[in-house]
Chain A
Amino acid sequence: MSNVTVRIPTPLRSMTGGADEVTVSGATVKDALDALGAKHEGVLSKVLDAKGGVRSFVNVYLGSRNIKALGGLGAELKDGDVLAIVPAVAGGK
């Protein structure tokens, strides 16, 4: 188990009590997201689809790399890693 920080994008902060970062522990990205979901109800369904994959309009980064390039949700974590949930944002006006 590794302790990691998950960065919460603004649109999902209503589900984390306003927190922009949540600390969780887990051995893999999947574990960490599950732990986030256990802590804060409703977040997980915004990130993962019904089949458990990352939604097509959301990306999850481990450090500066998309987890897609690191083996997906099974990518392994180490202490101090930073996960960032980055959804598509349209605003510009």
Chain B
Amino acid sequence: MAAKEKRLAQLRASVPEVSPTEARRLQSEGAALIDVREPDEVAAGSPLGAHRIVRGFLELRVENSVPDLDHPVLVMCAGGVRSLFAAENLSQLGYTKVSSVVGGFNAWKNDKLPVEIPPRLTPDQRERYGRHLLMPEVGEKGQLKLINAKVLFVGAGGLGSPAAYYLAAAGIGTIGIIDDDVVDRSNLQRQILHTDDRVGMSKVKSAEITLKGLNPAVNVVAHETRLDSSNVEEIFNGYDIVVDGSDNFPTRYLVNDACVKLKIPNVHGSIFRFEGQVSVFWPNNPGNPSPCYRCLYPEPPPPEMAPSCAEAGVLGILPGVVGLLEAVETVKIILSLGDTLAGRLLHYDALRARFTELQLDRDPDCAYCSGKGEFPGYIDYAQFCSMAGA
């Protein structure tokens, strides 16, 4: 014991210590508070907003949470002893402003400072999402964001099928699907959520069976109805992201207008024969206000200008490519990762195997997203050739 006491005395002389109240103040100013206790200790409560890195992995993982070595760091354990050792380890690693919290979490609690029960993945979830957890860009925090996300798919067809399938696999917790169609054998060339023995079944029901089969934890919300001006807001409300995989202009404009009004990012994909387009329409994009669909195309084409039903058709694999690009954008939005396609249109020409990026500009006078004047209201455009590209 003498050796331990001697060492602690040395550490107390060299590691700056702060009281819990002071630590809370520094944390509110941006300092990183790192709770280095064991998982079973943390599970019972941890300081609000703390990073939680078990001491055994501290040096290996700390840079994911605090990349800047000169950022102020506060280390906490249960009583203020382990944190002295941990603080010294961080100094040796190169962190220049490391302090230890006196009295640790016990003192933090006694001082009635804010505490939270950290959300945790279950052992089942850890196993299932292991390959996500290995990536610092996702990790447990990101996986919990995916699990808490609510994504609505407009259409369980060519685009919605691959997008919803992969997003269910990725662990999106709530997947809403709106579609009023039933499975037809001609859908099976591309709509991979459905199966031959479900021809005639409602697509929403069929999608639910497939998605639940892949990931039983996913909450599938069935909206077995046709989207129109009377139900669009009620259905969209509460979703974080809408993935548009619809097959007709009236629906696409309703999706856009409701997403603009409800400030929901609209992940857009469309396909025609060998060509696809993907974008994210998101006027309320934090830090990067981006155009809406109407900034691009203020009005749908009149029926005589739209591609005729006879021209409709699509390579069955194409919606797979485009739908999965929509799925990737959806995950990036949920995890705030990288640069989304907000403000850009990605065009895919399958025959030439060529991706082209077009820059989209906001229309400062857009009737829907410019904020000038009243919201113009929803429009039920006449249906025409709902087969186009279907």
Q: Which residues of A are interface residues toward B (Cβ below 8 A)?
A: 9-11, 14, 20, 46, 55-59, 61, 64-66, 68-69, 84, 86-93
Indicate if B349 sits at the interface (CB-CB under 8 A). yes
Assess the A93–B351 pair: CB atoms within 8 A.
Answer: no
**Residues of chain B with a CB closer than 8 A to A59's CB:** 296-297
6 further interface pairs, Cβ-Cβ under 8 Å (given A84-B347, A88-B296): A11-B311, A20-B349, A57-B299, A68-B361, A90-B306, A93-B390
**Residues of chain A with a CB closer than 8 A to B263's CB:** none
Assess the B275–A84 pair: CB atoms within 8 A.
Answer: no
Task: Select which of B159, B275, B298, B301 is within 8 A of A92 by beta carbon.
Answer: B159
State the Cβ distance, B316 to closest chain A Cβ, in Å: 11
Assess the B191–A10 pair: CB atoms within 8 A.
Answer: no
Q: A69-B361, A93-B157, A93-B247 are in contact. Are A87 and B301 (CB under 8 A)?
A: yes
| Interface residues on chain B, number (Cβ under 8 Å) | 49
Q: Which residues of B are interface residues toward A (Cβ below 8 A)?
A: 155, 157-160, 187, 191, 244-249, 252, 269-275, 277, 296-301, 305-307, 311-312, 314, 319, 345, 347, 349, 351-352, 356-361, 388-390
Determine the distance from Cα of A90 to Cα of B297 in the docked complex, in whole angstroms: 12
Assess the B270–A89 pair: CB atoms within 8 A.
Answer: yes
Assess the B296–A91 pair: CB atoms within 8 A.
Answer: no
**Residues of chain B with a CB closer than 8 A to A84's CB:** 347, 356, 358
Determine the distance from Cα of A87 to Cα of B272 in the docked complex, in whole angstroms: 11
Assess the A92–B297 pair: CB atoms within 8 A.
Answer: no
State the Cβ distance, B187 to closest chain A Cβ, in Å: 8
**Residues of chain B with a CB closer than 8 A to A89's CB:** 270-272, 275, 277, 389
State the Cβ distance, B360 to closest chain A Cβ, in Å: 7
**Residues of chain B with a CB closer than 8 A to A46's CB:** 305
Determine the distance from Cα of A56 to Cα of B295 in the docked complex, in whole angstroms: 10
Assess the A93–B159 pair: CB atoms within 8 A.
Answer: yes
**Residues of chain A with a CB closer than 8 A to B187's CB:** 93
Assess the B359–A66 pair: CB atoms within 8 A.
Answer: yes
Nearest residue (CB) in A for B269 is A92
7 tightest A-B contacts by CB?
A: A91-B389, A93-B157, A93-B247, A57-B301, A11-B307, A93-B390, A88-B297
Determine the distance from Cα of A84 to Cα of B277 in the docked complex, in whole angstroms: 13
Assess the B300–A57 pair: CB atoms within 8 A.
Answer: yes
**Residues of chain A with a CB closer than 8 A to B244's CB:** 92
Q: A56-B297, A87-B301 are in contact. Are A66 and B360 (CB under 8 A)?
A: yes
Determine the distance from Cα of A84 to Cα of B328 in the docked complex, in whole angstroms: 26
**Residues of chain B with a CB closer than 8 A to A10's CB:** 272-275
Nearest residue (CB) in A for B246 is A92
Nearest residue (CB) in A for B160 is A92
State the Cβ distance, A11 to closest chain B Cβ, in Å: 4
**Residues of chain B with a CB closer than 8 A to A57's CB:** 297, 299-301, 305
**Residues of chain B with a CB closer than 8 A to A20's CB:** 349, 351-352
Could you show 8 A-B contacts with beta carbons less than 8 Å apart? A11-B311, A66-B358, A88-B301, A90-B388, A92-B245, A92-B270, A92-B390, A93-B158
State the Cβ distance, A17 to closest chain B Cβ, in Å: 15
Nearest residue (CB) in B for A57 is B301
**Residues of chain A with a CB closer than 8 A to B296's CB:** 59, 88
Task: Select which of A14, A64, A68, A93 is within 8 A of B155 by beta carbon.
Answer: A93
Task: Select which of A58, A66, A86, A90 is within 8 A of B248 by beta carbon.
Answer: A90
**Residues of chain B with a CB closer than 8 A to A68's CB:** 361
Nearest residue (CB) in A for B306 is A90
**Residues of chain A with a CB closer than 8 A to B272's CB:** 9-11, 89, 91
**Residues of chain A with a CB closer than 8 A to B271's CB:** 89, 91-92
**Residues of chain B with a CB closer than 8 A to A61's CB:** 358
